[in-house]
Amino acid sequence: MATRSAIINVMAKACYKASRGMLRDFGEVEQLQVSRKGPADFVSTADLAAEKKLVEELTHARPQYGFLLEEGKPIASSDPKGRRWIIDPLDGTSNFLHGIPHWAISIGLEEDGEIVAGAIYDPTRDELFWAEKGIGAYLNDRRIRVSERRNLSDCLIATGAPFMSKGDHERFLGQLREVMAVTAGVRRQGAAALDLAYVAAGRCDGFWENGLQPWDIAAGLILIKEAGGYVTDMTGGSKMMGNGDVVAANGRTHHRLLQLVRPRKVAKPPELA
């Protein structure tokens, strides 16, 4: 059985407490008060209440730490190492609002600009995915690792698709065509944090998505790394938190998946003589 550190216990406790109200609201999803934040981008009362509860719990446990929040304004850190929580109180909001039980709370801990711990909690299944730098990745109290599949033809790949006027639809469709042609399947499940957690647990073999936000991926990045996987941006670099482009897989397939989804250089036509 895994022994959780004090910081993981703090994150887990915050997730459990915030999830109580979310589960209650999820059970009454038709009665939720919902406001429109943008085209097909909703924020529910459950989302706001969960973020408030998370901030309260984490501030009580670590009053010096700052926050980067999806819904609220950033809160500056007074910690000597600049530690801050990066929070998505409800990843998979559209699933939540449509009564689909696939959504999660995501908390990442950043220290000196590096993600050093993370927790992704799925309340509907009572599954807590967590990781800490140098400690490994876990699902509840069981150690998890990325899959060992070697061939893309055997791999199930998760992704997130742009919707309405958001994102580069043509870019995504090109990536999708490339990946569909050589893999066992592609899944678009609507919660990037859980997609990354599933790769860490070996449930999916890889993941890619464009234009994500730091709170979508902070916890998932360390989960992948501590589970023995590879995660980069679309150029093979490490600027995922900055540009929001993510490719994750095991060490045997990451490079091949990256080649399928990375930006293509368009050759210039030769000059006319």
pLDDT digits (tens, 9 = 90+) for 73-117: 999 999 999 999 999 999 998 899 888 999 999 999 999 999 999
- Domains, the chain, in order of start with CATH, read 6-143 (3.30.540.10), 152-261 (3.40.190.80)
Q: Tell me the mean pLDDT in the region 13-25.
A: 95
Residue 15: exposed, middle, or buried by beta-carbon count in 10 A (0-12, 13-18, 19+)?
A: buried
How sure is the predictor about 38, in pLDDT bands with cuts at 50, 70 and 90? low
> What is the C-alpha to C-alpha distance for residues 185 and 205, in angstroms, rounded to an integer?
10
Q: What's residue 273's pLDDT? A: 38
* pLDDT of the residue at 267: 47
Of residues 165 and 73, more confidence is placed in 73
- 3-state DSSP call for residue 110? strand
Please list, in sequence order, all residues whose beta carbon lies within 8 angstroms of the beta carbon of residue 238, skipping any fewer than 6 positions away.
232
**What number of helices (H) and strands (E) belong to the chain?**
8, 14
User: Considering the entire predicted model, what is its pTM?
Assistant: 0.92
pLDDT band at 42 (very low <50, low <70, confident <90, very high): low
Q: What's the mean pLDDT in 16-42? A: 76
Instruction: Say what percent of the chain tops pLDDT 70.
Output: 90
Q: 């996987």: which residue's tokens? A: 229
Alpha-carbon torsion (22, 74, 115, 171), positive or negative: positive
- pLDDT the model gives residue 33: 64
Two tokens, residue 126: 């009572």
Instruction: Using DSSP, state whether 154 is helix, strand or coil.
Output: helix
Residue 266 confidence (pLDDT): 47
What's the residue count for the chain? 273
Please state, rounded to an integer, the average pLDDT across all residues of the chain. Answer: 91
Contact 192, 212 (CB under 8 A): yes
172 neighbors 210 (Cβ within 8 angstroms) = yes
The average pLDDT across 146-175 equals 91
- Confidence band for 39, pLDDT divided at 50, 70 and 90: very low
| Lowest-pLDDT range of 21-25, 119-123, 176-180 | 21-25
- Distance between CA atoms of 140 and 200, rounded to whole angstroms? 13
Q: What is the mean pLDDT of residues 56-80?
A: 95
Q: Give the chain's largest Cα–Cα span.
A: 72
Residue 79, classed as helix, strand or coil, is coil
How many Å apart are CA 176 and CA 63, to the nearest integer? 44
Residue-level pLDDT at 29: 78
pLDDT in tens, 238-262: 999 999 999 999 999 999 999 999 9
Contacts of 235 (CB under 8 A, 6+ apart): 262, 263
How far apart are the C-alpha atoms of 161 and 149, rounded to whole Å?
A: 24
Nearest to 155 by CA among 208, 232, 100, 92: 208
